[in-house]
Chain A
Amino acid sequence: MVTQENDPFVGGEGEEADEFELMAPLLVAKLQESGISAQDTKKLADAGYHTVEAVAFTPKKTLCTIKGISEQKADKILMEACKMVPMGFTTATEIHSRRSELVHITTGSTGLDTILGGGIETGAITELYGEFRTGKSQICHTLAVTCQLPVSMGGGEGKCLYIDTEGTFRPVRMLAVAERFGLNGEEVLDNIAYARAYNADHQLQLLVQASAMMAESRFSLLIVDSCTSLYRTDFSGRGELSARQMHLAKFLRTLMRLADEFGVAVVVTNQVVAQVDGGQFAVADAKKPIGGNIMAHASTTRLNLRKGRGTSRVCKIVDSPCLPEAEAIFAINANGIGDPEELKE
């Protein structure tokens, strides 16, 4: 009876499965040993909860819907069930060993990959922000191809979903990148699912279709370029600010859920706003990413892009749970993102 909706521990299922291999699931009748009456355990069994584990992971509200189980009884049953069953707390050591198997998608530039710890992390949201012409869309185009490479070559071995809001999608760039990695251009383009969003609500709806597609075949990357441009035009004025942030929060939560459920890497690009009233200490020409605190907290890793000399660009890690603040220089070449010329020599 434990479905995805009423399992309170999202993402905790894997650990329980491992631990349960060591012991067979307990029948719900075992609860009688802790003082639950036989009638109550029969009612639970009749409602479909045959094992103690099934009961332990159900929210109290759902248990109360069973006829004959009052709130106090549900409380007591849950307390006893949780005592009997290991509740799925994993140690950091286990998580650490799992993280070493995490797939990183290469960006095409060795400098950038190094500071990111191997590339763009799957299962997390990476945000790229910077002014125009700093290379955000270029990185997205390169990633759309590298995500299809096998894991041994630094890729993600999966398809790519590209949601475009600004109309900057250029398949011809991807053909050039495909050639660089020795892939067949036609197949590479076939593996990229493209959608154009026209307003903020449409953008959110596309994610519903996205999850359906991801359930059918293996995707390794979801790109939203750019995530916030439609919000800037659809919602205007201070009066609509909270509505905008609620909508954006919902969109980002859905993205996070997709990243968790399907293990895809999510890359979003963001626009910046100029800070006109810098106050006492402003650096000249300071730029801040839009989206406010909601955006800031939703993305796992934030990368700040700015223009260097010529075709080179500088990327700086601004917010990351585990990577130190570091900068890397990369270049925008004809065949995608790569290392700048000086380093090659």
Chain B
Amino acid sequence: MSLTSFPLESLALPKEMIDAANRANLSTSSILLTPLPKLADTLRCKIPFAQSLVREVSKGVVPIPRRLDEVYEEESGERSGQQRQGGDGVLLEGGVREKGKVSDRGKWMSTGDEGMDRCLGGGLRRGCLYEITGESAAGKSHLALTLALSSQLPSLTSSPGGSLILTSERELSTDRLVQLAKSLLATHEPVPIPTAADADVVGYAEEQRVNRRVKGLLDNVLTNRVGDVDALEHALNYAIPAMLEKRSSSSSTVKPIRLIVLDSITALFRGGSNNDDKPTAPSSLSLTERSKRLCSVADQLKLLAVKFDLVILVINQVSDVFTRQGQGRQSTPTPTSSIPMPSSSFTQTQPFVGYSTTATEMERDPPMIYSSQARWFSGQSDNLNKEASLGIVWANAINVRIMLSRTGRRRLLHQDDLRPSTSTKKRKRGVIAPSPMPSATQEGVTLGLGVEVDDIKPTLIRKMHVVFSPFSPSSTIDYAITPSGVHSLPESYKVLDVTETVRKRREGERKEREKEREDQRRQIGLAPLHPQTQSQSQEEQEEGEEFGDEVFDEFGELPAEFWEEYQLGEEGGVERPVGEVPSA
């Protein structure tokens, strides 16, 4: 909390103190921080007077601590009813808040998709700073657009409101926003259409109504461009608070803002200062400058989040993770001569960054260097050799980090895939379960389905990885972007246990080292030390992740004929009739 936001006049001080301070041109911070003798000098008064001034100012500025049980009572009081699921922040097994119980939600803002809500521990929580990071085309801006709309729907959040999107690279893309608005409304807030004699009239009126509602949603999405860090700081310190105050004051007719998106923060900090004649690699001086500004931006964002009770979502980009020279079982080229080839995101043979597999365990990297620590929070994983940008400073500033990635697998999806499985056992391949949501219920009332899936071409499966969060364990879930928005595949929810992963890694490396030693001994002609290890490793090789009916095709480059012949399931469940040629 900056002390400049406590001007002297706002504190309840006796008049002579304020006059003395104003005469000497002192501000709150200088009163509190100047040593007493010097302060008394500046005020031209005695030390006891200065002392009582400092005491009065401190009393005015100090925040009042609150007891934890008071906070707890307040928050659970927001959620009426007995449906409390174990208390705030505790995620029970399958602890998803029931849809529709709006009063239970408290500070949570649902994403509109149950699987994602589960991953996040209930959705997005107001008052927190979230970060969405990932490669390009991973779906970050798209997810932000979806959330900018879902924050306005009363069925998804207890305190709906508009959103503000600050863009740094390009202007907001509104075409997709309109499409998303239509399908979100159809899914979450369908309005029953009364049947009328004339279907055309109904159709037109309905269309008009939908357009009006969509415009209503879009009217509450504000946006602005910020060209550089100065512009961002200006906006965060002055323009945005002024606008937020105006909108949340009681006399305002528009909805308050409940979500602020910054897309993207990396472009502001990575581009380098525009005044450089010759751009060079960042020096340590420029990096400390960058860290300082990152911290002040993060502080300001969190302040806005708490003061105005909204969610802040910052979009970040990624950089590649380079394994250090001398590591790994592959021979690495000498540093100076080769062109660098960062491990592609599809490689799975690279060992964990920070661990060398040289013979002795002593030569493992010291635990406090960045690359050893980064694997816990940077979003890199076995399948993904990319880490979030802006380093450790930014990682410590945010509350939740979400890493989005493209898995490279494609699957022909059906609407049933996207709904949570109602039965306990996995849906059998090839059998289409009867759809639980009928398209027409009682007579005369049609409920919008909203969920559209492209079932001609296989859809790319993407992965959302909650890297760290105070509200839920680290987990991943697969999802797809369809014409109707973002939908997760409910059976793919997996809670990660990073310690377990690291332990398995170490085991694997140890076994590999042993195997190497065995090979060496065999070459020399000595008897093997441990005869069992060979069969064990063979067994492990046969284990692998099964991907079922998915195909690896990152950019959809397999020819159309391939997809034609490709069929789901052996029992002839879902087949595309042969002879139907999809238009390329």
Residues of A near any B CB (own CB < 8 A): 8-12, 56, 59-61, 71-72, 75-76, 78-79, 81-83, 87-93, 95-96, 99, 117, 123-124, 201, 236-239, 241-243, 246-247, 249-250, 253, 256, 273, 275-283, 286, 288, 292-294, 296-298, 300, 302, 304, 306, 314, 316, 318-319, 321-322, 324-325, 327, 329
Contact = CB atoms under 8 A, between A and B. Distances in A.
A79 B175 CA distance: 35
Given A76-B7, A316-B556, A12 B224 contact: yes
A325 B281 contact: no
A242 B282 contact: yes
A319 B170 CA distance: 14
Given A93-B219, A249-B270, A281-B408, A306 B557 contact: yes
B225 interface: yes
Interface of B: 4, 7, 27, 135-137, 141-142, 164, 169-178, 215, 218-227, 230-231, 233-235, 237-243, 245-246, 264, 266-267, 270-272, 274, 276, 278-282, 317-320, 322, 335-344, 346-349, 386, 408-409, 460, 483, 552-558, 584
A239 B555 CA distance: 31
A297 B318 CA distance: 10
B249 to A, nearest CB: 11
Contacts of B27: 72
Nearest to B547: A281
Nearest to A8: B231
B555 to A, nearest CB: 6
A96 B177 contact: yes
B192 to A, nearest CB: 27
Contacts, number: 219
Given A60-B234, A278-B346, A279-B347, A92 B172 contact: yes
Nearest to B145: A321
A99 B242 contact: no
Contacts of A302: 136-137
Contacts of B557: 283, 306, 316
B319 A293 contact: yes
17 contacts: A8-B226, A11-B225, A79-B238, A81-B238, A89-B222, A89-B223, A89-B239, A92-B221, A95-B171, A95-B223, A246-B281, A277-B349, A280-B348, A286-B346, A296-B136, A321-B142, A322-B176
A311 B72 CA distance: 69
Contacts of A316: 555-557
B227 A239 contact: no
Contacts of A278: 344, 346-347
Contacts of B220: 91
A79 B409 CA distance: 51
A256 B142 CA distance: 21
B339 A237 contact: yes
A256 B167 CA distance: 13
A213 to B, nearest CB: 21
B227 A8 contact: yes
Contacts of A92: 172, 174, 177, 218-219, 221-223
B319 A314 contact: no
Contacts of A324: 483
A238 B338 contact: yes
Most B Cβ at <10 Å: residue of A273, A293, A319: A293
A293 B318 contact: yes
Contacts of A322: 173-176
Contacts of A87: 235, 239-240, 242-243
B320 A292 contact: yes
Nearest to A88: B224
Given A61-B230, A246-B282, 11 more contacts: A8-B231, A92-B172, A95-B172, A96-B177, A124-B170, A238-B322, A238-B335, A256-B169, A277-B347, A297-B264, A321-B170
A279 B349 contact: yes
A249 B274 CA distance: 11
